[in-house]
Amino acid sequence: MKPGSIAVVGAAETTDLGVIPGLSQIQLHADAALNAMKDCGLKPSDIDGIATAGETPVTLAHYLGITPTWADGTAVGGCSFMLHVRHAAAAISAGLCKTVLITHGESGKSRVAVTPRPPYPGSLAGQFEAPYGVFGPPTMFTIPVLRYLKHYGIREEQLAMVSVVQREWAGKNPRATFKEPITVDDVLKSRMIAYPFRILMCCLVTDGGGALILTSAERAKDFPTKPVYILGTGESVEGPMISQMADFTSSRAFRVAGGKAFETSGIKHKDVDHLMIYDAFAHLPLYGLEDLGFVKRGEAAAFIGERHSAPGGKLPINTNGGGLSYMHSGMYGMYALQESVRQMRGIAPAQVKGAKISVCHGVGGMFAASGTIVFSNARP
């Protein structure tokens, strides 16, 4: 794929976000998909490529009445949708399809007709981690985070600052779940979940979904929406067990996916106006800033503490409020992508003035996988 040869022409989230007990998982996918089609003036018969996670492409295509010539069911956790964007761009470039729909829907809070979540008893994590009490994201992420904090001398107050800044951005977003300002003291006094994570350092659990529609940049000229061009992409995986990370202070998948996205886009860090880093927990923006190369190792906490990522800062990060305050249905990557697209369209609630390049970075599982997309509102 040449930089700027593929564009996002449709983007939308579900009609409602938060607690939606009246819609099942597949209905959330469909609601988001139909909203994205309405956004760019398409109907199901116009779609010939489909990608999704949570549900299978087979189920989704049947439910929406789509007959695809290309399908992708890659499911590697919350960053699956970044990988879908990358794969869809490659498929369109190769002539396998012309118009791709990527969907997400998850009844994370209401749990209506949901797909069971791993680890499964027979999996590697099920056999060799779960029996020892390491089960679920809050306990699993503590393993590398405690090493990171000790290695770099990061204090709990600095970790809490991530949550404080995210809430500032959320306060500017009418759709955010939590908008009330919080302080570092509020975070540190909130309920302990699994050390060092207190509840205000943990993501929300909500219902919702989102969808994107991609096509070639040439065809994008004919759509009513402002095209958002894909400049570069990257993806990688490391492993299914967090205890087996090569380095607890850095994600190999982050470094590889991010490095490839920068390489293929041809941009430099100084070119980036806006950054989305999947923030299921407060530590992830720290790892993301360092592994993507925006700051040196061990310097991310100070960067955020100095308010460089906050409103008015030199590198706005997670401007929708992130998974900590905006919403998080379980696989947050789609919502990060939606915010990057809104920023590039110039329609975000907390719009970054003059933003031309947005980098959107995601994590899958517990540092198991990663995907990175570079967007722009200007075609090279």
Q: What would the pLDDT profile of 232-271 be if each residue is shown by its tens digit?
A: 999 999 999 999 999 999 999 999 999 999 999 999 999 9
pTM of structure: 0.98
Domains and CATH numbers, the chain: 6-114+204-376 (3.40.47.10)
> Counting beta carbons within 10 angstroms of the beta carbon of residue 351, is it exposed (0 to 12), middle (13 to 18) or buried (19 or more)?
middle
Residues in the chain: 380
How does pLDDT run across 174-195, given as a tens digit for each residue?
999 999 999 999 999 999 999 9
Within 10 angstroms of residue 148's Cβ, the number of other Cβ atoms is 23
Tokens representing 215?
């096509």
How does pLDDT run across 296-351, given as a tens digit for each residue?
999 999 999 999 999 999 999 999 999 999 999 999 999 999 999 999 999 999 99
Within 10 angstroms of residue 354's Cβ, the number of other Cβ atoms is 7
**How much is the average pLDDT of 23-49?**
98
CA distance 344 to 228: 6
Longest dimension (CA), the chain: 56
What's the confidence (pLDDT) of residue 42?
A: 98
What's the confidence (pLDDT) of residue 134?
A: 83
Residue 193 contacts residue 282 (beta carbons within 8 Å): no
State the pairing for strand pair 49-52/100-107. parallel
pLDDT band at residue 57 under the 50/70/90 scheme: very high
Give the mean pLDDT of the chain: 97
Judged against a pLDDT cut of 80, whether residue 291 lies above it is answered with yes
**How much is the average pLDDT of 141-153?**
97
Residue 102 contacts residue 214 (beta carbons within 8 Å): yes
